Structure formats: C-alpha cells, structure tokens
Amino acid sequence: MIDLYYWPTPNGHKITLFLEEAGLEYRIVPVDISAGDQFKPEFLAFSPNNRMPAIIDHAPADGGQAITVFESGAILQYLADKTGQFWPKDVRARNTVNEWLFWQVGGLGPMAGQNHHFGVYAPEKIDYAINRYVNETNRLYGVLNKRLEGRDFIAGSDYSIADMACYPWIVPHERQQQDLNQFPHLKRWFEAIAKRPATLRAYAKGEAVSNNRATVTEQGKQVLFGQKART
C-alpha cells in the first residue's frame, strides 16, 4: 500500500498517472493546499518543503521500514525503480528519460506555473510579467514539439515517466494562452495520452478529491502566495 499525499494540480496528477498505469495499490490522502494542509506538522515531518505530492511506501522493495519520498520528479523515479516500469534499464535510454524529466521539473513546470500566477491569480495584472512567462511557455512548447517530431513519446517509442511529468502541465494550455494547433507534434502526443485509460482514471480521481471545487480559492491565495520562511 502506498499513501499518496495529493491535491489535483499538475504535480499531483503526475503521480496518479504513474500509479494508475502501473496498477499499484494506493490510498489518496488529500492535502487541501487552499486550506493550508501542507503546513501541518505531520505532513512537514516527511515533506519539509511544505509541498505536495509526497508518498509513504509501506512495502518498499528492500522489505524494510516504510520509505517516504517528496518532490514529484523524485517520486516518479522511485516508483519507476520500484516497479521496473516506465524507466528504461538501458543506460542511454534511461539518460534520455532523465534529461526530459529534469527539463520538466526545472523548466516547463516552473515557467508554466509563473504563467498561471501572473495571468490568473495575481491581483495586479503586470503586462511585463504576463508577457515574459507566456512567451517562455510558448518557447518551451516549441522545444517539446520539436522533440516529438517523428517520435511517439518524448524519449522514443515507449511511454515513460518523462511523458507523465510533462502531460499535466500541457492540460491547462488554454489558461497558459497557448494554441496547440501551433504545435502539431505536441498536439498529437497530448491527444494520445489523454485517451489512455489510466489517464482517464487518474483525472477522475482528482475530480473526486476536489469535488469540483477550484483548486485555489480566494482565501487559499493568501495561504499559497503569502508564504515566507518558517522558523
């Protein structure tokens, strides 16, 4: 059994995508980020950056005590290593998956996240910031589109944790002010993943958790965007 501390954001969806594809038994523990659940001491004990997702694996491969993992990229690598799925064993192929996984966690996710913040959540609409992050998101879409030319998936012919990491950040493309018709290879890849049964199940789990409530409420903005160092 794996406990998944989760809220239906792009980073949360990455992990349900893997768990549904791999058929692992798991239990969702909701972390309502608008309510401040991520600051609860029991959560901070194993997710010190006060961010979800995080997991507790009660049946680790070494048979020892439960293992906790925080940070979505690390969780994907851990689960892929545990199951032997969606992460090639060949050193060259694995390197390619890792490159694109880190491209997402270091680029696509943060830049699209700032796009969301200044375009959707910020109380003051700052044209410079909006243009900066819309344009950078557009550039990154172009990088991914180029990569997918002639390939079924990001790392080649096989679906991998690199695809699972990137897909949820493309789902809100309209909110990011991006037109998928400008990126035909990316669009083809996106539509193929959207139809996978595991993808449909993963996103259904997210809807059930949030009960169709906005993932960030007005009150939640104060919680999310007013954070400083916790000493």
Taking 90 as the threshold, does the pLDDT of residue 226 lie above it? no
Give pTM, 2 decimals. 0.93
Q: What is the pLDDT of residue 210?
A: 83
Most confident option among 106-110, 212-216, 222-226:
106-110
SS3 readout for 145-160: HHHHCCCCECCECCCC
Q: What is the pLDDT of residue 211?
A: 77
Say how many residues make up the chain: 231
* Residues 180, 173: Cα–Cα separation, whole Å: 7
The pLDDT-based confidence of 196 (bands split at 50, 70, 90) is very high
Q: What is the pLDDT of residue 48?
A: 96
Name the DSSP class of 157.
S
Q: Beta-strand (E) ranges in the chain?
A: 2-6, 26-30, 54-57, 67-70
The pLDDT-based confidence of 231 (bands split at 50, 70, 90) is low
* Residues 145, 90: Cα–Cα separation, whole Å: 25
Mean pLDDT of the chain: 94
Taking 80 as the threshold, does the pLDDT of residue 59 lie above it? yes
pLDDT tens digits for range 114-126: 999 999 999 999 9
The pLDDT-based confidence of 146 (bands split at 50, 70, 90) is very high
Q: How many CB atoms lie within 10 A of CB 203?
A: 18
| Average pLDDT rounded to a whole number, residues 162-167 | 98
Tokens of 150: 């002639």
Name the DSSP class of 226.
S
Q: What is the pLDDT of residue 26?
A: 98
Which residues, other chains included, contact 171 with Cβ-Cβ below 8 Å and sequence gap of 6+? 10, 13
pLDDT tens digits for range 32-47: 998 899 999 999 999 9
Burial class (CB in 10 A: 0-12, 13-18, 19+), 136: middle
The more confidently predicted of residues 102 and 222 is: 102
